[in-house]
Amino acid sequence: MQMQVVGLTTPQEVYVASKDRKFRINELLVLEDPYQGNLIGEVVESNSYNRFIPLSIGSSIHDADVLESLKHLGYSISEDEINIAKVKLITEASFPVVTGSSVRLPAFDEVRGHLLKGVREDGLLLGEIKNTEETAATMEDDLKGLCEMFSGGKLYKTKNVPFFLDLRSFQQYPHIGVFGGSGSGKSFGLRVIMEEIMKHGFPALMLDPHYEMEFSESQESSEEKRDFKDNFRKFQIGEHIGVEFLNLSRGDLLALLSAVSPLTEAMSSAIESLHLRGDTYLSFSNRLELLSEALEMGRLRIEQALKQDMEPMEREKYIKMRQLLEEYQNIPLPSVQGIAWRLRRLHNSGLFSHDIKPVKEAMMQGKLAVIQGPIWLLQVFSTYLLSNIYRKRRDYKDGELKGEASGDYFPPFIIATDEAHNFAPKGRDAATKGIITEIAQEGRKYGVFLILATQRPTLLDETVTAQLNTKIIFRTVRASDIGTISEETDIKAEEARRLPYLPSGDAFVSSPLFGRTVAIRVRFPHTRSPHTQNPLDEIQLHRESSEDKLFEAIKPHLPIYAANFARAVEEINRHAGANYEVRTLKAALDTLVEKGKLTRKASPLGDIYQATDI
């Protein structure tokens, strides 16, 4: 296997050619420059082409005949293939690389610094770095086979270099974004991240609108059985935890009530005057009930009632009603009724019967607290919860800074959530937006870190997005989201183009720590979500349905000639409104061949893909 620098070079970029080795995107290569010594580069584009196919101008079918004839005479044109890689240097050269320099795969030690950051003990083992098998073979043994991978229906120990996210570096680069379309592997990714955080005993809090973050059942198929029963606690809002009404600020209360159903302006101003400092749920709801009764009766009837004989308790009630009526005479009855209804609904959810002590306790013990609830309730509740624990941590830290060792200890922690665009939406308000923005901007100082996952990065508040230092990007199909991702990360155009076709579980990690985008595959989680009874079945189902869709889109355009991919892609895209590209179409076709949906016939002009006759 011989690889060589060819063509025009610059200090940043070179082309490398090989006759017998196909290059893989994101793999690292060593360029042996005779003057500058060994330089490390990363493959950013990989092409294979036949030197002679460009000869076949015009109707390729006739040429196919000629090539077929040559094949009968013993010459297969595919042997004249050349593989070319565009390679970006990751160690900057001071002048252009010498053309003709030989190129080889690196030994692990040569690229260790580019693949592993920080010490292993502090790392979150997220999975493997793609296309590093050869390099991984020269790793020290205790880095080999560290995690289990699941792909192509098989579970196996990784053969690649492991990918660690350095927990220690969170101090510098505190926040993580996890982006990816539906089914791209976000939930699996989040699960793996949380498992790793639990392994480190780092306190964390997770908002779980999907009720899927359960860590007590280990994967059946997995060899290394491992669960996290003792490392996490699950709380349902209203069931196990809630808010102490007494501690609610006016803002909290407004947010809570409006989360049930939006408040009118009249209601909001009514709450302003009705909610008093020191109110408990009982005192506040009593006030509302009495006022509403009073408004219904009217002043005259209350006065009349008071003139009659009655129990002292009863009398007291009427006096109170008269008093309220005087005090709040401008508040319309419907407003009061509306507020009361909302409050009752919150109460019935159990929200006011519990507090957040259990969450704090779990976190103090270095556990993961998973908070579950419907998204509306999760929103308001987490506003309250996050503000509360963030304040606790901040007060402690500020106190420590001022030299006042007074405050209660509260540890640093991580907040993770899926559907983050609901919690900090762009261009509209949400109860949680304020606190999340605040943590995004200042959390670093206090050791409070965010992991925000979303299907729609475009809908996430820009201020928050800008603070996400590390981004883990799974398959993304929507053009607007790809646009946002390209803007917000150092992802290269070539990688952005691959985003729509990443298999579930594959991701690009864009991190200032690496200074480049790293292509990874997330490891198989140790535990499974309660939804997925048998992950094997689910994976197969999932894959089949996406294959069916693809097959339907392609069917009208069969047979497809490899030499004519460009036209086929154009047609398929036009008809199906899809966004395929030549290279990815080929991969997709090959998958369909594997599944037996298509047959691939070799021809000297390249392959011909036909529908499989049944």
Partner 1 sequence: MFELNANLKQTFEETAKAMRLRLQQKPSVDALRFMVVDRGIGSFRMCQKLDCRGLSSIAQKGRIVGVDGSTNNAGGPFPYSFTLQQALAKVCSSKEEDVVITDAISPLTMKDAITEEEYRDFIKRNLAELEVKAALEALDKFNPRVVLLDGSLVRYKIESAPMWETLKNRALAQDAVLVGVVEGISTNIISSCLEDALELGGFPASDWEILFGLLQVGEILEIVPGLFKEGFRTFFMRSSLDPKPIGIDLLEEQQEYLAEVSNLIFTLTPQDGRGIPLWLDIIDKNVRITDAVMEGLLNTYLGEDYAEFLKPKRERRQM
Binding ligand ATP (rule: CB under 6 A), the pick from 106, 162, 177, 185 is: 185
From partner 1, ligand ATP, Mg ion, none, which one binds at residue 184 (CB under 5 to 8 Å depending on kind)? Answer: ligand ATP
From partner 1, ligand ATP, Mg ion, none, which one binds at residue 542 (CB under 5 to 8 Å depending on kind)? Answer: ligand ATP
Please, which residues bridge with residue 482 across strands? none
Angstrom CA distances, 535 to 31, 145, 189, 508, 528, stand at: 43, 22, 15, 23, 8
Q: Does 454 bind ligand ATP (CB under 6 A)?
A: no
- Running DSSP on this structure, what letter comes out for residue 321? H
Q: Does 119 bind partner 1 (CB under 8 A)?
A: no
Environment class of 360 (CB within 10 Å of its CB; exposed 0-12, middle 13-18, buried 19+): buried
Q: Does 33 bind partner 1 (CB under 8 A)?
A: no
Distance from C-alpha of 384 to C-alpha of 398, rounded to nearest angstrom: 21
User: 210 by DSSP, 3-state: which?
Assistant: coil
If binding means CB under 8 A, how many residues of this protein chain bind partner 1? 21
Q: Does 505 bind ligand ATP (CB under 6 A)?
A: yes
* Token pair for 31: 């360029």
Q: Does 187 bind Mg ion (CB under 5 A)?
A: yes
CA angle 40, 41, 44 (to 5 degrees): 165
Q: How far is the CB of 259 from ligand ATP (least distance, A)?
A: 23
On whether the CB atoms of residues 221 and 209 are closer than 8 A, the answer is no
Stretch that binds partner 1, among 32-40, 64-72, 107-115, 384-392 (CB under 8 A): 64-72
Q: Does 162 bind ligand ATP (CB under 6 A)?
A: no
**Proportion of the chain in helix, strand, coil states, percent, rounded to 5:** 45, 20, 35
Closest to Mg ion by CB, 231 or 454 = 454
User: 373 by DSSP, 3-state: which?
Assistant: coil
Q: Does 538 bind ligand ATP (CB under 6 A)?
A: yes
Q: Does 284 bind ligand ATP (CB under 6 A)?
A: no
Q: How far is the CB of 382 from Mg ion (least distance, A)?
A: 18
Q: How far is the CB of 43 from partner 1 (least distance, A)?
A: 24
Binding partner 1 (rule: CB under 8 A), the pick from 2, 10, 34, 52 is: 52
Q: Does 70 bind partner 1 (CB under 8 A)?
A: yes
Binding ligand ATP (rule: CB under 6 A), the pick from 123, 174, 177, 180 is: 180
Binding ligand ATP (rule: CB under 6 A), the pick from 331, 351, 522, 598 is: 522
- Report the DSSP pairing between strands 598-603 and 606-611: antiparallel
Q: How far is the CB of 485 from ligand ATP (least distance, A)?
A: 15
Binding partner 1 (rule: CB under 8 A), the pick from 56, 219, 470, 527 is: 56
Q: Does 73 bind partner 1 (CB under 8 A)?
A: yes
174 Cβ neighbours under 8 A, 6+ residues apart: 443, 444, 448, 449, 450, 469
Q: How far is the CB of 531 from Mg ion (least distance, A)?
A: 10
Distance from C-alpha of 7 to C-alpha of 82, rounded to nearest angstrom: 14
Distance from C-alpha of 327 to C-alpha of 329, rounded to nearest angstrom: 6
Stretch that binds ligand ATP, among 47-55, 234-242, 316-324, 533-541 (CB under 6 A): 533-541
Q: Does 76 bind partner 1 (CB under 8 A)?
A: yes
Distance from C-alpha of 614 to C-alpha of 601, rounded to nearest angstrom: 16
Q: Does 381 bind ligand ATP (CB under 6 A)?
A: no
Please, which residues bridge with residue 81 across strands? 50
Closest to Mg ion by CB, 179 or 446 = 179
On whether the CB atoms of residues 563 and 60 are closer than 8 A, the answer is yes
> Whose CB is nearest to Mg ion?
187
Q: Does 5 bind partner 1 (CB under 8 A)?
A: no
CA atoms within a 13 Å half-sphere pointing along the CA-CB vector of 360: 18
From ligand ATP, Mg ion, partner 1, none, which one binds at residue 51 (CB under 5 to 8 Å depending on kind)? Answer: partner 1
Stretch that binds ligand ATP, among 221-229, 259-267, 443-451, 532-540 (CB under 6 A): 532-540
Residues 257-295: b if buried by 16+ CB within 10 A, e if exposed: bbbbeebeebbeebbeebbeeebebeebbebbebbbbbb
DSSP alpha helix (H) spans, 311-374? 312-327, 333-348, 357-364
Q: Give, as ranges, the residues between 92 and 151 that touch ligand ATP (CB under 6 A).
A: 150
Q: Does 601 bind partner 1 (CB under 8 A)?
A: no
DSSP alpha helix (H) spans, 21-59? none
Residue pointed to by tokens 């109707």: 59
Q: Contact residues for ligand ATP (CB under 6 A)?
A: 150, 180, 182-188, 455, 504-505, 522, 524, 535, 538-539, 542
Q: Which residues lie near Mg ion (CB under 5 A)?
A: 187
Which residues contribute to the site for partner 1 (CB under 8 A)? Answer: 51-52, 55-59, 62-63, 65-67, 69-70, 72-76, 79-80
